[in-house]
Structures are given as structure tokens and as C-alpha cells.
Amino acid sequence: MNGGEDGGRTAKAAVPGMAAGRYFVHGGRTGMKLIERYIFRRVFALTMSALLVATGILLTTQLLVHVDMVTRSADAAANFGVLAVTLVPTIALLVAPFALLIGAIRTLNTMNNDSELAVLEAAGRAPAATAKPIIVLAALMTLASLAASHTVEPWANRKMQDTIAQASADLIRSAVQSGSFVKVSSGLFIQIGKELPSGEYGQIVIVDTRDATTEVIYYAKRGTLAESEGVTLFVLADGEVHRRNSNDRSVSIISFATTALDFSQFLGQSARGYRPEELPTGFLLSPPADDPLAAREPAEIRRELNRRFSEWLYPLAFGLIAAYFVGTAQSSRQQQPLHIVTGALLALGLRAVGFFTIAGSGENPALAALAYLVPLAAIAVFGALILGSRAMPVPKAFAEGLSTIGGGIAGVLPGTRRASGSQRRDGGGRP
């Protein structure tokens, strides 16, 4: 009788750290729903924080690649804003699984350190029930990723490329007016000395270093932009082409009366059309029979479709991995970091395999199948382990290896040895 009363009191005890005692484990449905909402909110907040930080960092690095071209265009502020907005969907979809992994691991690790997981398990709450709010959030992120990858992302990619092309067009026009060298794209520079009364351009110099093995310089007394079958050409007259081989330093000079350079890609046009990642899923699934992209890049279309139909599964896989490895109470201070590292490394390895299989899925049917099997297998395995409350012990050799690496890192960090010595003086046997 006393044991039952004690158990009841334990089950109704306040869970440490849960909003200053606002949440209690009652053992009933109401108490369990409170705990689920508590875990869901904590994981959601940390996931969104990680997502914002990671997206911001990657967005900054991507903007720096195009900042020189965009800021010198005619409408620099607007183009820069459009570029920033259109880059967000692709970056967010890429980092979303990792953000969820970080949010779930941090939440569960904190709950373990505060003995919250131990109290929940003592109250009779199974690890599968603790993992439920994480799985719900992972499922929501998975569905959001699926929808965004088929709608928002293709539109954003198309809008971004159009913006870059328009900014490049503005640079060409500014070269006509400035009379100085203007960087059109990576490795391509143009200088136009003056505009002639006839509407042509005079004293033209074009430097093309996009080919690492050959540097090409065009000199022309006159030039003009002309349209031919929907393609914009820069027609040069009365000039020379200087080609320098980077390997043997040889130089060849060819005089020409007229020559034409395709400037479509720098004037807001494209002779090759849109890329697969810029097109709607419906078009990729059933392109017109006479579409040049379908005839020219069928492997790229298959790869893009495999990416869109497989990558949305990773948030759910990562959520299950985090819930499995960190979702149970650990009494040892060594076991919890070991489980965290194991889960994180497994998730990273899983994603790396996913990138590899998707990259080759356009040409290799086996890799195309693996692109789907890898995340689905992870979902099935860890979902079953969580539901069955089965443990997957960390291999001893792996644990010892991590301990050795951790000890080596600690040995070279400033202040580590001093701290260790202080701990021993204060009572090294203390946990």
C-alpha cells in the first residue's frame, strides 16, 4: 500500500526545470499532453533558431558571390533584395534536417541533464511517447519540404536566374557609358571606349579568361549588338583576336573583318533555356516531345526529379535518429555525449550518402533507387526501434575511439590541463 502511495506521489511530482513547476506528470492523458506540448515547443523554438542562423550564414556567403555584379546594376537595391529572397528557399530546404537534428538533440540533452527524462520514465512514460512530439514536428517539416521543393523552390530558382541575367545586362550597358573595364561575369571583362554617331560602339576590348588554359582578348574598332533567331550577338568589325596558351605561353594573333560573340546569357536571355531546377515538376515529368531541354539533358531532368521526390524525407529521418539516440535517460555522464555524437555522425553520414546517390541518379538506375531507399530505410529502422523500445548499443571500438579523440583534443586546448588538475585537487572522484 505504501509502495503504491509512493509511486503515486512520484508520478505527480513536478518535473524539474519545466517552466518552474507549471507542468506535471499526472499519469493521465491531460498530463501527457502537457508534456508533449512542452517538448514540442522547446524543440520547435531551438529548431527555428538553428534554421535562421544556418540560413543566414549560408545566405551571406551566397550573396557575396554575386554582390559585385548586382550592386553595380541599374537597380542595385531591388536586385539585391530579390536575390536574397529567392536564395532562401533552396538554403532553408538544405539545412532544415540539420536544424531539426540540432533542436531535438539540444532539447533532449537538456532534459536529461535536468533529470526530466528520468522523471518521465519513472512515471511510466515510454521513450516512444517522449519521441512523439519530435516525430510530429519532423513530419510537419517533411510535408513542408515536400510542398516547397515542388512549388516555391523552382519559382525562386527561376526568378533568381532572371535577376542575375538582368543585372548582367545592366553591366553591359554600363560598360558602354563608362569607358572603363566592367566585369560582366567571372572571367569576362569588357571595355567600350565610345559610342559612334552611327549607333555602333568604338574602341572595344573584351578579355575572356573563363578557360583556365587559354586567355582570349578581342580588339575591335567597331561593334554593335544584333538579333539573330532570338539570340543577341555582339558583332565586332575590323579587329584582332589574341589567344595565349597558359601551358606553353604561346600567343596566336588572328585578324578579322567581322566576328560575332553570343552575349545572350549576359543580356537577360539564354540560348539553352531554363535549367531543370527552375522548371515546374509537372513539366519535368512530362516535357513536350519537341522541347530542346528534354532532348539535350534527360539525365539532368531525372536527377532533379529524384532530388525533389527524395530529399523531403530527411527531416523525418533526422528527427527519428535524434529521438532514438538522445530520447532516453542516461545516468552516466559519458554515455550521453557518446550517444549524441553517434547520432549526429550517423545523420551526417546518411545525408552524405544521399547527396552522392542523387548526384549520380540521372545516369545510374541503381543510384536512383538508393536515393529513395537510404532515407526510407533510416525511417523504417529507427521508427521500429523507437516503437519497440529497443536499444542499439554503441560499438565498443567506436566508443573507445571517440574517447581517445576527445582526450587528445582536451589535452591541447588552453586551460584544460589546469582545470583537470584543479578538479583532482578538489576531489577528482566527484562525478
Residue ranges per domain, the chain? 175-266
**Whole-number pLDDT of residue 171:** 64
pLDDT digits (tens, 9 = 90+) for 102-150: 999 999 888 888 888 888 878 777 777 788 899 999 999 999 999 999 9
- Cα–Cα distance between 242 and 207 in angstroms, integer? 10
pLDDT digits (tens, 9 = 90+) for 140-151: 999 999 999 999
Backbone angles phi, psi at 333, to 5 degrees: -75, -15
Structural contact between residues 43 and 315, judged by C-beta atoms closer than 8 angstroms: no
- Cα–Cα distance between 106 and 386 in angstroms, integer? 19
What's the Cα-to-Cα distance from 373 to each of 33, 78, 181, 333, 353, rounded to whole Å? 34, 43, 52, 35, 11
- Cα–Cα distance between 14 and 32 in angstroms, integer? 13
DSSP state of 230: T
SS3 content of the chain, % helix, strand, coil (to 5): 65, 15, 20
% of the chain exceeding 90 in pLDDT: 34
**Whole-number pLDDT of residue 174:** 66
Per-residue pLDDT of the chain (431 residues; tens, 9 = 90+): 444 444 444 444 444 444 434 444 444 454 457 888 889 999 999 999 999 999 999 999 988 877 766 666 657 777 788 888 999 999 999 999 999 999 999 998 888 888 888 888 787 777 777 888 999 999 999 999 999 999 999 999 988 888 877 776 666 666 666 567 777 777 888 888 877 777 788 888 988 888 888 899 999 988 887 766 556 678 899 999 999 988 888 889 999 999 888 776 555 444 446 788 999 999 999 888 777 777 778 899 999 999 999 999 999 999 999 999 888 777 666 677 888 888 899 999 999 999 999 999 999 999 999 999 999 999 999 999 888 866 555 555 555 555 555 455 445 444 444 444 444 444 443 33
- β 188-195/251-262 pair status: unpaired
Residue 31, all three cell numbers: 498530463
- Cα–Cα distance between 112 and 115 in angstroms, integer? 5
Residue 408, all three cell numbers: 587528445
Map grid coordinates 532562401 to a residue. 88
- Cα–Cα distance between 331 and 117 in angstroms, integer? 10
Map grid coordinates 536586385 to a residue. 79
- Cα–Cα distance between 43 and 119 in angstroms, integer? 19
Structural contact between residues 295 and 76, judged by C-beta atoms closer than 8 angstroms: no
- Cα–Cα distance between 76 and 61 in angstroms, integer? 18
pTM > 0.85: yes or no: no
Residue 383, all three cell numbers: 521508427
Residue 385, all three cell numbers: 526501434
Query: Which amino acid would we find at residue 350?
Result: L
What's the Cα-to-Cα distance from 213 to each of 42, 235, 417, rounded to whole Å? 55, 25, 53
